[in-house]
Amino acid sequence: MFSPYSNNLKTNYQILGLDKTQNSFKIDDQLKNKVFLSNSDIQNIYQIINSPYQKQGDDLISSSTNQILYSRKTNTSNVPTILNQTLNNHFLNNQNILDNISSYNSQLMYKTKSNDFKILPKQAWLYDDTDYLNTKYVTKHAKWMDQPIQSINDQNNYSSYGYKIVENNNKKHYYLNPYNLDVNKFTQRQVIDLWSDKNENNKDLSIEKQVDNIVENSPIFGDFVINKNGEIIKSFLRPYYQLRNLKLFIPISDEISWEDFAKYALGWGNNQEPNDDWKANLEKQDEHTREYIQPALKKLKIDQVPLSVKNAWDSVLTNKNITDYIEVRPYDFSIEQERRIDRRHIYFQFTPGYINIKGVLKSAPTTSLDNLILNGSALFYRRTLGKRKNIAPILKLENNKVNYVNKDLKIKLTNIGVSDIYGKSYAIIDSDLANMIYGYDISRSINYDYKPFDTSKIIKRNQLFNTYNTTNWQKQNIIDPWKNTYLKSKNVYDYSPHYYYNTIFSNSNEPLTITSSISIIPEKRLGLAIIDLLNLSDYKTAISNVNFINQTKQLIDQLTKTSIYIAIIIITAISLSASLLIMLITNIYISQYKSFMIMLRSMGHTNKQFDMF
Is residue 43 pLDDT above 70, yes or no?
Answer: yes
Is residue 220 pLDDT above 90, yes or no?
Answer: yes
Amino acid letter for position 40:
S
CA distance 463 to 296: 59
pLDDT score recorded for residue 339:
47
Q: Label residue 54 left, alpha or beta by phi (over 0 means left) and psi (-120 to 50 means alpha).
A: beta
Segment (H or E) for 157: none
Q: What ranges do the domains of the chain cover? A: 5-103+402-438, 109-400, 550-612
**Neighbouring-strand partners of residue 297:** 328
Cβ(252)–Cβ(283) under 8 Å?
no
Greatest distance between any 2 Cα atoms in the chain? 145
Cβ(144)–Cβ(153) under 8 Å?
no
**Which candidate, 51, 27, 10, places its Cα nearest to that of 409?**
51
Cβ(103)–Cβ(401) under 8 Å?
yes
**Neighbouring-strand partners of residue 305:** none
- pLDDT per residue over 561-572, tens digit each? 999 999 999 999
- pLDDT per residue over 144-195, tens digit each? 999 999 998 876 677 888 999 999 888 999 999 999 999 899 998 899 999 9
**Which candidate, 243, 240, 191, 186, places its Cα nearest to that of 214?**
191
Mean pLDDT of 532-545: 65
- pLDDT per residue over 288-343, tens digit each? 989 888 899 999 999 999 999 999 999 999 988 899 999 999 888 887 655 444 56
b/e 254-283 (16+ beta carbons within 10 angstroms → b):
ebbbbbbbbbbbbbbeeeeeeeeebeebbe
b/e 369-403 (16+ beta carbons within 10 angstroms → b):
eebbeebbbbbbbbbbbebbeebebbbbeeebebb
Alpha-carbon torsion (269, 274, 279, 283), positive or negative:
positive
Is residue 49 pLDDT above 90, yes or no?
Answer: yes
What is the pLDDT confidence band of residue 591, given thresholds at 50, 70 and 90?
A: confident
pLDDT score recorded for residue 11:
94
b/e 512-544 (16+ beta carbons within 10 angstroms → b):
eeeeeeeeeebeeebbbebebeeebbeeeeeee
Strands 68-71 vs 60-61: parallel, antiparallel or unpaired: antiparallel
End-to-end CA distance of the chain: 77
CA 239 to chain CA centroid, Å, is 22
Is residue 36 pLDDT above 60, yes or no?
Answer: yes
pTM: 0.87
Long-range contacts of 218-223 (CB under 8 A, 24+ apart): 218/187, 218/189, 218/191, 219/187, 219/189, 219/191, 221/182, 221/185, 221/448, 222/448, 222/449, 222/450, 222/473, 222/484, 223/150, 223/448
Cβ(526)–Cβ(395) under 8 Å?
yes
55 vs 589, which has greater pLDDT? 55
pLDDT score recorded for residue 138:
97
pLDDT score recorded for residue 512:
72
Strands 14-18 vs 426-430: parallel, antiparallel or unpaired: parallel
CA distance 14 to 20: 19
What is the pLDDT confidence band of residue 410, given thresholds at 50, 70 and 90?
A: very high
Segment (H or E) for 374: helix 365-375
